[in-house]
Amino acid sequence: MHPIRRINTIFVYVRDMAQAKHFYGETLGLGQPLIDSKFWVEFKLADGDTHFALHHSEKHPRSDGALGAFKLSFEVHDIQKFAAQLKERGVKFHYEPRKEHGFWLAEFEDVEGNALRLFQRVPHAAAK
């Protein structure tokens, strides 16, 4: 079995959250967001599993400060094992797997310096 199950969340850095929320929610028809905060707006796509999110930032984390970059979050079965495999292959991690908000996350770079994430759900009983 391949370790990556699906794309969990795709998000875009935006400077003007209100304008971006209107464009994606109304113009593109994603509808009302599931999460609607000052810095994070998240829509659930029609497949019921994939999420698309807007993340407010005056400056993208890349060193050139460019906006418009996408960040992908790949859902995996065993984040610890897969992160270790990537590290063995020389992948640079921004942060190791850590439990946040009831799930596991790890962030790393592709060969172009783009940030990618690994995501693993925590069983409901263990999330507490």
pLDDT score at 28: 75
Q: What are the extents of the domains in the chain?
A: 4-127
- What pTM value is reported for the model? 0.62
Q: pLDDT digits over 93-105, tens only?
A: 999 999 988 899 9
Distance CA 68, CA 66 (A): 7
DSSP 53-102: EEEE-SS-SSTT-----EEEEEEES-HHHHHHHHHHTTPPEEEEEEEETT
Domain 4-127 CATH superfamily: 2,3-Dihydroxybiphenyl 1,2-Dioxygenase, domain 1 (3.10.180.10)
Cβ(68)–Cβ(15) under 8 Å?
A: no
